[in-house]
Amino acid sequence: MRLQKAIANSGFTSRRKAEKLILDGKVRVNGEIIRDFIKVSDDDKIEVGNRVIKLDQERIYLKFFKPKNYVCTRAKFKNEKSIFDLLPKRFKDLKIGGRLDKDSEGLLLLSNDGSFILKTTHPRYETEKTYEVEFLSSISEENITTWSKGVKIFQEKFLPCSVKKLSDKKIKIILREGKKRQIRKIADFFGLGVKNLKRVSIGEVGLGKLKKGEFEIMQKLRF
C-alpha cells in the first residue's frame, strides 16, 4: 500500500493532505523522513509529527442523529456545543462524512476509515444525500422546477437535483454535491426562508429509529 493511502486509511487525514505532509517532510517511516510515495506494510512504523499511525486499527463506522444547535467540530468555542460532547470519548478522533451546519439536524456518518469518508464526501463519487426541508413561506411550482434544473446565484452554480413537494411549505431534496449551506442559499434566493432542515439519508443509510443525539455502530458500508 502506498504511504499516502495508508495514512488516509488510518483516518488521520485525507489522502491529498497526506501527500502534502509527505512532500513537506513531516512523515517518518521506521525513523527516516520520507518525501516519496513509497509502499509500506503493517511491519513499518509510520509517524506524522509525534503521532504513530496504526495501519491495523479496528475500523469504526458510526451513524449519528445530530440535533440542532450543535457544531461539527472538535474546536472549542465559547458558548458553542459540539457533536463530540454527545459521543463517548472513544469516538473523539473519528472523521465526519458530510457535515451539517449548526442550525440543521439529521444524519451524520463518522469513521476512522479515510477511504470511506472520502467516498461519502467527495463530489466525484456522487453519493446521494437526502434532506427534508420546511420553509417559512409557501414554495411555488416555479421554484421547484427552477431548483431541480440547477440554480446560479451570482458566480456560484448549483447542479440539477431531485426536488419533490411534500406539502405547501415542505420538500424532499436529493443532492449529489455538498456545497456549504447550499440549500439555505437557494431557499433565501427564492425568498422562502428555512424553518427546519433535516438530512434523512446518505446513500442507502437512513436515520432509522435513531432519536436526536443517539448513535449506532454499523458494519462497513459500500458506496
Domain with residue 13: its CATH number is 3.10.290.10
- Do 106 and 117 have their domain in common? yes
User: If 0-12 CB within 10 Å is exposed, 13-18 middle and 19+ buried, where does residue 222 land?
Assistant: exposed
- Domain membership flag for residue 167: yes
- Do 178 and 79 have their domain in common? no
For residue 93, indicate whether it is catalytic: no
Query: Which of these is catalytic: 24, 85, 101, 168?
Result: 101
Q: Determine contact, residues 56/6, Cβ cutoff 8 Å.
A: no
Q: How far apart are CA 71 and CA 39, in angstroms?
A: 37
What integer pLDDT is reported at residue 222 of this predicted model?
58
The count of structural domains within the chain is: 3
- Do 213 and 174 have their domain in common? no
Strands 194-202 and 129-135: antiparallel
Band of pLDDT at residue 79, cut at 50, 70 and 90: confident
What integer pLDDT is reported at residue 77 of this predicted model?
82
Q: How far apart are CA 218 and CA 223, in angstroms?
A: 14
- Do 191 and 213 have their domain in common? no
What integer pLDDT is reported at residue 85 of this predicted model?
94
- Do 68 and 175 have their domain in common? no
- Domain membership flag for residue 39: yes
Q: What is the dihedral of CA 169, 171, 176, 182, to 10 degrees?
A: 10
CA proximity to 197, closest of 144, 135, 133: 133
Range of the structural domain that residue 111 is part of: 61-123+205-218
- Domain membership flag for residue 223: no
SS3 (DSSP) at 75: coil
- Domain membership flag for residue 190: yes
- Do 90 and 152 have their domain in common? no
Is a pLDDT exceeding 70 seen at residue 119? yes
